[in-house]
Structure 1
């Protein structure tokens, strides 16, 4: 692969949670003090996993038309309260300010070690930005926290749909003034890759075998035929001739 790879692509749209940032460690860190303060006997990493496990089901209710579109921040807050209830949290002793701050843990996640350098190198050739289920405010705040060099924010909020609905990819391409084949999806999840391909986008798969911790059993390999498969964003930049 060289600088001629993906010659007609004019935008790289990034999945963010898991591909660019380490959500599991960040949410465990954000939760630890809260759980201790309120006497909740749950491991912070288990708490992060439980919270994240509600991510897809809550979005599916929107995809299925069972409820109107709402930003991911709203779904995350509802899911947070569900997980806390499971563990017997006393909501009478928890302030709304505490819940808001804990929910904002999704905006304070560290990038994977290769992410910022890789994205900066890719940005030399391509405009870049999230094509994420995260809402605009969340992506803005996360970008500033993690020094992510977005050019623009696309994804769920501008399309009022959640991936892997094809309209999320197509609407994001329209928003940056490009045809689907002129956009490449960058993601660590095969489902995301395959949906993007179905929408006509190009595909860059990044291996993140520790996104879900040491027992991860999904997305350990590329299960489709993608334009680029790389072990890091730095490796993807190398493949695309971005020095």
Structure 2
């Protein structure tokens, strides 16, 4: 059964749940893609854990500065802009992302719930205080460059990336608000996410279990189950603007 754009136009509360596929359309490398994956040269345990940072903070900080450079060089794509535009046309929209870049914000979205943290929000590894000082634009030409992290002005501890590492819990407040939105919404758009990373992968299921319609938008087909679950295969930057045109004439 085909997804009817009337469901979008008539929705009371839309949750948009985005993953790496949305940022990939802006040229940001993904973790899992066999050709461009960020784990191609490094084992995750070497880079994305607290133990890795303790062992070699310069390597870990340098790798994340390379990632931040990639994010800063990227620009919001039509999917980011369509999501920001959609917020103007529905009574309520909650945007939940697994991405650690700020492309949603640069496209105009507000109050984004970042489930996996943000490259723009570093904090102290020792005392956990946010690092408020502006970071320079990274000059990291290649993966694997070692850069000493800055020091915390409060305790002189080393500053770590503001992302969720393997073995760490997701931000409690963001996860709680995301689950609450999923229970309350009547339409959830799952965009560019494989739906396998827990506990974030529960969000579409929570929405479905509470009576919402769920639409998966992904380059690869997603296994569907349930009469209110739909799938559109393709690029989010093409599908989302088309949905807005069909629903609102925009």
TM superposition score normalised by structure 1: 0.50
- Measured after TM superposition, the shift of residue 182 of structure 1 is 3.3
- Measured after TM superposition, the shift of residue 2 of structure 1 is 3.5
Alignment of 1:1-243 (within 5 A): 1-5=4-8, 7-18=10-21, 20-22=22-24, 25-27=27-29, 46=36, 48-50=38-40, 54=44, 77-78=48-49, 98-105=62-69, 107-108=71-72, 110=74, 113-126=77-90, 127-128=92-93, 130-134=95-99, 138-139=100-101, 141-144=102-105, 147-156=106-115, 162=170, 168=175, 171-174=177-180, 179-182=183-186, 184-191=188-195, 195-200=202-207, 201-208=212-219, 220-225=220-225, 226-227=229-230, 229=232, 231=234, 232-241=239-248, 243=250
- Measured after TM superposition, the shift of residue 51 of structure 1 is 6.9
Q: Tell me if structure 1 keeps the 8 A contact 2:215–2:231.
A: yes
The whole-number CA distance in structure 2 between the counterparts of 1:161 and 1:106 is 25
Query: Pairwise CA RMSD of aligned residues?
Result: 4.8
The whole-number CA distance in structure 1 between the counterparts of 2:65 and 2:29 is 12
Q: Tell me if structure 1 keeps the 8 A contact 2:6–2:247.
A: yes
- After TM superposition, the structure 1 stretch with the greater mean CA deviation from structure 2, 184-193 or 195-204, is 184-193
1:27–1:161 Cα change, 3 Å: same
The whole-number CA distance in structure 1 between the counterparts of 2:215 and 2:63 is 36
Number of residue-to-residue matches in the alignment: 177
- Measured after TM superposition, the shift of residue 102 of structure 1 is 1.6
- Measured after TM superposition, the shift of residue 14 of structure 1 is 2.7
